[in-house]
């Protein structure tokens, strides 16, 4: 009997591993192998055509004094500082709102907010470019009706980055909202009933029951959102191409230009490795800050 039980467990484990195998192979081929190749390339000078030339740490020494790289990193940080809190707060706020709804209206609302996530980033970028158009865009038409001067949006070095952030938030909040909503529905109602008996206010229940109960979900959202903010590219490429005056030239876009415009694959790989290290440090800091020891 015990042998049969162990045999059954072994078959289940084998089935699970076989089901995970395609994803594992995909991750190895498209994620880990390119990462290792980028690290290897970062120690070489290579234009993609001629043979690689080993130059040791020369690319990393160059990186330290590269003003353009550090400027692009500052732009990325500005983007992240606005994007991460906006995504977290809007997603959680929508989840709290929809969690109060019931029936078909709840289903319709969830679908409505989730819909932008299913849209291609390129299509969304083109759509919002049309609405941001300084001359005939919908936003400036509305502003004119309200007596507010027309804005330049993507054509302004002071407004372009924020305009891109708005699009990025619009695209992702529906997905994160669904994750928060699932976590909220797992919070036991007994906690809230006990808090009501003690006379707790809505704010107190949110701070002392809701937030601690969804701590793991919050950590997941913050880490994934942080990683996403440092990897933003599609919206920048489609909507601003890094302009105006490099106001939206984030680090990934700068790496892209170095690799596919200047064909300096060795140095672009160095910048990619540096960005990976920065993302890992920020992610570990978030785990530490939120008290996770795993």
pLDDT of residue 262: 92
pLDDT of residue 8: 61
pLDDT class for 51, splitting at 50, 70, 90? very high
Contact 139, 151 (CB under 8 A): yes
* 290 has pLDDT over 80: no
* 96 has pLDDT over 80: yes
What mean pLDDT is reported for the chain?
Answer: 90
Contact 68, 258 (CB under 8 A): no
- Structural domain that includes position 119: 67-289
Average pLDDT of the segment spanning 86-95:
96
Tens digits of per-residue pLDDT, 229-262? 999 999 999 999 999 999 999 999 999 999 999 9
* 292 has pLDDT over 80: no
Q: Which range among 47-51, 78-82, 290-294 has the greatest average pLDDT?
A: 78-82
pLDDT class for 294, splitting at 50, 70, 90? very low
* 6 has pLDDT over 70: no
Is residue 191, in this structure, part of any structural domain at all? yes
d(CA 255, CA 251): 6
Is residue 7, in this structure, part of any structural domain at all? no
pLDDT of residue 132: 95
Q: What percent of the chain has pLDDT over 90?
A: 68
pLDDT class for 75, splitting at 50, 70, 90? very high
Is residue 36, in this structure, part of any structural domain at all? no
| Residue partners of 40: CB distance under 8 A and separation at least 6 | none
* 73 has pLDDT over 70: yes
Is residue 18, in this structure, part of any structural domain at all? no
* 10 has pLDDT over 80: no
Specify the number of domains making up the chain: 1
Contact 147, 205 (CB under 8 A): no
Is residue 13, in this structure, part of any structural domain at all? no
Tens digits of per-residue pLDDT, 152-207? 999 999 999 999 999 999 999 999 999 999 999 999 888 888 988 888 888 999 99
CATH assignment of the domain containing 137: 1.10.3720.10
Nearest one of 218, 122, 216 to 171, comparing CA atoms: 122
Tens digits of per-residue pLDDT, 15-32? 878 888 888 888 888 888
d(CA 204, CA 191): 12
pLDDT of residue 291: 58
Is residue 182, in this structure, part of any structural domain at all? yes
Instruction: Please give the biggest Cα pair distance in the chain.
Output: 81
* 148 has pLDDT over 80: yes
Count the helix, strand and coil residues of the chain and give each as a percent rounded to the nearest 5. Answer: 75, 0, 25
Nearest one of 194, 272, 211, 246 to 72, comparing CA atoms: 246
Is residue 26, in this structure, part of any structural domain at all? no
pLDDT class for 5, splitting at 50, 70, 90? low
Indicate the SS3 state at residue 45: strand
d(CA 219, CA 4): 41
Is residue 123, in this structure, part of any structural domain at all? yes
pLDDT class for 122, splitting at 50, 70, 90? very high
Contact 274, 251 (CB under 8 A): no
Average pLDDT of the segment spanning 98-121:
89
């Amino acid at each position: 009997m015990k042998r049969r039980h162990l045999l059954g467990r072994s078959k289940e484990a084998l089935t699970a591993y076989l089901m995970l195998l395609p994803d594992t192979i995909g991750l190895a081929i498209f994620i880990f192998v390119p990462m290792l190749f980028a690290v290897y390339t970062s120690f070489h000078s290579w234009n993609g055509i001629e043979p690689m030339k080993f130059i040791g740490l020369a690319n990393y020494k160059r990186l330290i004094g590269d003003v353009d790289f550090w400027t692009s990193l500052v732009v990325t940080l500005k983007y992240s500082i606005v994007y991460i809190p906006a995504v977290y707060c809007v997603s959680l706020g929508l989840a709290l709102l929809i969690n109060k709804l019931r029936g078909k209206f709840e289903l319709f609302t969830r679908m409505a907010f989730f819909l932008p996530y299913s849209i291609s980033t390129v299509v969304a970028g083109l759509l919002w470019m049309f609405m941001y158009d300084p001359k005939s865009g919908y936003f400036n038409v509305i502003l004119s009706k309200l007596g507010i001067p027309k804005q330049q949006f993507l054509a302004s070095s002071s407004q372009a980055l924020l305009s891109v952030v708005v699009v990025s938030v619009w695209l992702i909040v529906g997905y994160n909202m669904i994750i928060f909503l699932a976590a909220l529905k797992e919070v036991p109602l007994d906690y809230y009933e006990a808090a009501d008996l003690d006379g707790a206010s809505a704010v107190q229940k949110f701070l002392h029951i809701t937030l601690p109960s969804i701590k793991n979900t919050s950590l997941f959202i913050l880490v994934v959102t942080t990683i996403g903010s440092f990897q933003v590219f599609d919206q920048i490429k489609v909507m601003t191409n890094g302009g105006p005056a490099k106001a939206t030239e984030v680090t990934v876009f700068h790496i892209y230009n170095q690799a596919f415009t200047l064909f300096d694959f060795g140095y672009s790989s160095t910048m990619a490795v540096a960005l990976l290290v920065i993302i890992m440090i920020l992610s570990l800091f978030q785990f530490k800050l939120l008290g996770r020891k795993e």
